[in-house]
């Protein structure tokens, strides 16, 4: 595996890459969910390029940028194991040589709901860095996790609206045996909080079976006083208004102590 840190090193590695090039973008603290993205990329592309960059632009003041887990050595070991060819690990100076960029991607009105409503500026930061990483890595295909379902939709919309020649593929969420969706932020949870956090996946599962999904999900959250619900919504698969029947999506976000977690599942409305 070729580990590169500068733009020049990346350009040389990219120029030597053969066949279909896949990119998996991450902020590090890699877990089995990232490994699933990398393994899918490995199975479907000739060259697998991983990026590891904790993007300051997508954290609001007071969020967890400073304490976000940075575990580069372990990340590179996982990447090697997953068959990554090139790992790009830039510093903020490499990504933003002029400092925070004045020009940013406007995510449009779809970013005013859900994560964007709770975290203003988040999708400006995400789409700006994803766009920059697309320019730098020039992939044919890019893999993102369905755990960040709205993010996946926003990236697809950017690729469509900016005519980027990239095939964006979603990969299903990986869960612990007890249902907890894997997230780099799970490592913030104390044991009692981790137990309480199970309410997210439990509420989604119960709601998916209930005649009134949102009411059922919200009621399940009420059984877990340690967890503060942010939102629990039913939408169509594109995050538009909930359909009367057919495929739909349930999405939730909640605070478990000082940790904000998100999760979602696909649902078939009868
Ligand atoms: O999902 C993430 O880890 C980040 O939002 C991403 C896509 C790597 C952009 O920083």
Closest to 129 (Cα-Cα) out of 55, 192, 200, 45: 55
Q: Are strands 259-269 and 246-256 parallel, antiparallel or unpaired?
A: antiparallel
Q: For residue 79, how far is its CA from the centre of ligand 1 (angstroms)? A: 16
Residues 199-242 pLDDT 10s: 999 999 999 999 999 999 999 999 999 999 999 999 999 999 99
Nearest alpha carbon, ligand 1 atom 2:
26
**Taking the chain, what is the end-to-end CA distance rounded to the nearest angstrom?**
48
Q: Which residues are catalytic?
A: 34
pLDDT band of 23, cuts 50, 70, 90: very high
Mean pLDDT calculated for residue range 183-211:
98
Q: What is the pLDDT of residue 184?
A: 97
Q: Is the CB of 25 under 6 A from ligand 1?
A: yes
Mean pLDDT calculated for residue range 153-169:
98
Q: For residue 144, how far is its CA from the centre of ligand 1 (angstroms)? A: 8
The one-character DSSP state at 226 is T
Please give the Cα distance from 51 to 54 (Å, whole number): 10
Residues 59-69 pLDDT 10s: 999 999 999 99
Q: What is the pLDDT of residue 131?
A: 98
Using a pLDDT cut of 70, give the percent of the chain over it.
100
Q: What is the pLDDT of residue 104?
A: 97
Which residues are CB-neighbours of 183 under 8 A, at least 6 positions away?
Answer: 31, 33, 147, 261, 262
H/E stretch holding 65 reads none
Residues 27-85 pLDDT 10s: 999 999 999 999 999 999 999 999 999 999 999 999 999 999 999 999 999 999 999 99
Q: 201 labelled as ligand-binding?
A: no
From the CA of 126, give the closest atom in ligand 1.
9
Closest to 157 (Cα-Cα) out of 106, 95, 227, 213: 106
């Amino acid at each position: 595996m070729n580990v590169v840190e500068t733009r020049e090193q990346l350009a040389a590695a990219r120029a030597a890459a053969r066949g279909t090039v896949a990119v998996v973008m991450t902020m590090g603290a890699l877990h089995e969910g990232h490994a699933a993205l990398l393994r899918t990329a490995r199975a479907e592309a000739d060259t697998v390029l991983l990026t590891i960059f904790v993007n300051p632009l997508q954290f609001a003041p007071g969020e967890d940028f400073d304490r976000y887990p940075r575990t580069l050595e372990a990340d590179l070991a996982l990447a090697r194991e997953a068959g990554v060819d090139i790992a790009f690990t830039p510093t903020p100076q490499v990504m933003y040589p002029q400092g925070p960029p004045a020009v940013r991607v406007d995510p449009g009105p779809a970013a005013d709901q859900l994560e964007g409503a709770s975290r203003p500026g988040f999708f400006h930061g995400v789409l700006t860095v994803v766009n920059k990483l697309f320019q730098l890595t020039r992939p044919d295909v890019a893999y993102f996790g369905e755990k960040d379902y709205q993010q996946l939709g926003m990236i697809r919309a950017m690729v469509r609206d900016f005519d980027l020649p990239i095939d964006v593929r979603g990969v299903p969420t990986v869960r612990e045996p007890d249902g907890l969706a894997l997230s780099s932020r799970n490592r913030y949870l104390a044991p009692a909080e981790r137990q309480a956090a199970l309410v997210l996946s439990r509420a989604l599962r119960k709601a998916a079976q209930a005649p009134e999904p949102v009411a059922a999900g919200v009621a399940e959250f009420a059984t877990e006083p340690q967890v503060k619900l942010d939102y629990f919504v039913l939408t169509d698969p594109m995050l538009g208004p909930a359909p009367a029947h057919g495929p739909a999506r349930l999405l939730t976000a909640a605070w478990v102590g000082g940790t904000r977690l998100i999760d979602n599942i696909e649902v078939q409305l009868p």
